[in-house]
Amino acid sequence: MAIQIMNADARVIVKNDEELSEMPEWGNWSKDLVRISLSSKDIRKIPSGYSPSCPNLSTVLLGNNINLSFIGYSFFKQLHGLKMLDLSWTAIQKLPTSISHLVNLSALLLRDCEKLRHVPSLAALRALKKLDLYGSGVEKVPKGIKLLSNLRYLDLCGTSIEELQPGILPKLSQLRFLRLGFSFTVEGKEVASLRKLEELECRFHGVGELNTFMTCKPSTSQMRCRLLVGQSKQMDDYFGDSEDLYFLFGEGGRKFNGDIPLTVPLSLPHGTFSLLKQFGICNCPSMKKLFPQSLMSDLQNLGMISVRNCDNMEELIASEEGQESYNCNNGNSFIFTLPKLRRFELEVLPKLKSICSGEIVCDSLQTIGVRNCLNLERIALFFSCVTIASCPLSLLFKLSKFIPKNGGSWLLSLTILTPRMSSFPFANSYDIL
């Protein structure tokens, strides 16, 4: 119905597979044409000499023409009013340089153009607000990109780009959405200079760059982030697909010295990590402790913790100075609440003895995974119920999955304080087998 309505408008051309075997004859196109949408697996090229004269044409939608591999130079030559160009999911291998003269273009969409290797200079496209290269084969950042002062949306994720030259990001001061992926690193200070940023995905070389970003970004910023810290270029192996857009991940931490609390600046304002939903870290052999106690109140939205292959990790939440680690039998034990924690994974942590010296209440917990943590003596994870009346039997077996390490006989002596019912004699050594 929508296609029929648009086709009734002489200013709009909409054609699909049933109507197209090639590009339609352009000689009959009205000079008042404002929008065309063409989609057919049979369209393979827009030949040289194909040059519609449509000064009012503002939107060209050629996405999903999966066999379209060539566009002649002349096609864009007379489309001076073009504002929206969508070539996503095409087989285009090279863009004509005439694109560089579309000075009114505000959106250029080249999403999943896997065969595309090069984009012509964008220096003259000062009106451009959205540039989407996600999943394309582009190998270098397009020339002139730093001149796009009106750019609001930039997606370079999944491309073959291996470097974003310093000095480009600060020039793009109007950016609201920035997704760079994890194939190259960026400087924390440059990302933090984007004061209007609302969504971010990028990779920092190390914790130092992350700290710089966190301290330099606006304190009132509520941006949603997906961040990778370290040398690895992959995150999906650890987190998989997720709609959550606030991540923090560390890898390749051989350059990290000492405990991670020392890398968290004391000047960070309260609430800095309040949006954090998933936290993972691996291959950081020098790290002994993960979170300082002062950070725990910021982690109320945390839904997943994954810690892997950290040879010297002793506890996840640092004990206060002078406080005995993994000892909660004194009167100074502390209680933290992680109300949204659903998944908790520990793997290959040979020196880990406990999660913390206090207690962690996590009523949403569904999965605990523990592998090759030979010295782990205590997992201080609790449900908040304190009486049998308020703690139904179903809650006692609430965990949907427990993954023990190979040779799980150690579980017989492991103290897992779940649920939190210390008044019951059987609760001190809760048998999960």
Task: Write out pLDDT tens, residues 298-357.
Answer: 889 899 998 988 888 998 888 765 444 444 444 456 788 899 998 989 999 999 988 888
Residue range 267-310, pLDDT digits in tens: 455 666 777 888 888 877 878 888 888 888 888 989 999 898 88
**20 and 146 assigned to the same domain:** yes
Among candidate residues 161, 192, 220, the one where a domain is terminated: 161
Mean pLDDT, all residues of the chain: 78
| CB-based burial label for 330 (10 Å; 0-12, 13-18, 19+) | exposed
Least Cα distance to 157 among 178, 130, 129 occurs for 178
**244 and 325 assigned to the same domain:** yes
Q: With a cut of 60, say whether residue 54 has pLDDT above it.
A: yes
**152 and 287 assigned to the same domain:** no
**268 and 417 assigned to the same domain:** yes
**11 and 154 assigned to the same domain:** yes
Compute the average pLDDT of residues 192-215: 88
pLDDT band of residue 85 (cuts 50, 70, 90) is very high
Is 322 inside any structural domain? yes
Residues 6+ apart with CB under 8 A from 397: none
Q: How many structural domains does the chain have?
A: 2
Sequential DSSP letters for 270-282: TTTTTT--EEEEE
Is 385 inside any structural domain? yes
Is 183 inside any structural domain? no
Q: How far are the Cα atoms of 318, 349, 350, 357 from residue 323, in angstroms, in the given order?
A: 9, 22, 22, 8
Domain range enclosing 382 = 231-433
**24 and 115 assigned to the same domain:** yes
Q: With a cut of 70, say whether residue 192 has pLDDT above it.
A: yes
How would you classify the pairing of strands 177-179 and 153-155? parallel
pTM to 2 decimal places: 0.70
**281 and 403 assigned to the same domain:** yes
Show the tokens assigned to 140. Answer: 């270098």
pLDDT at position 360 is: 86
Amino acid type, 343: R
Spatial distance between the Cα atoms of 90 and 65, rounded to a whole number of angstroms:
5
Among candidate residues 120, 146, 161, the one where a domain is terminated: 161
**155 and 264 assigned to the same domain:** no
Q: Would you state the torsion angle of the CA atoms of residues 335, 340, 343, 345, taken in this order, to the nearest 10 degrees?
A: -40
pLDDT band of residue 256 (cuts 50, 70, 90) is very low
Is 260 inside any structural domain? yes
Is 317 inside any structural domain? yes
**263 and 400 assigned to the same domain:** yes
Residues 6+ apart with CB under 8 A from 425: none
Spatial distance between the Cα atoms of 193 and 385, rounded to a whole number of angstroms:
46
- Rounded to the nearest 5 percent, the helix, strand and coil shares of the chain are 15, 20, 65
What CATH number did the domain enclosing 72 receive?
Answer: 3.80.10.10
**340 and 423 assigned to the same domain:** yes
**156 and 247 assigned to the same domain:** no
pLDDT at position 382 is: 75
**154 and 57 assigned to the same domain:** yes
Among candidate residues 137, 161, 185, the one where a domain is terminated: 161
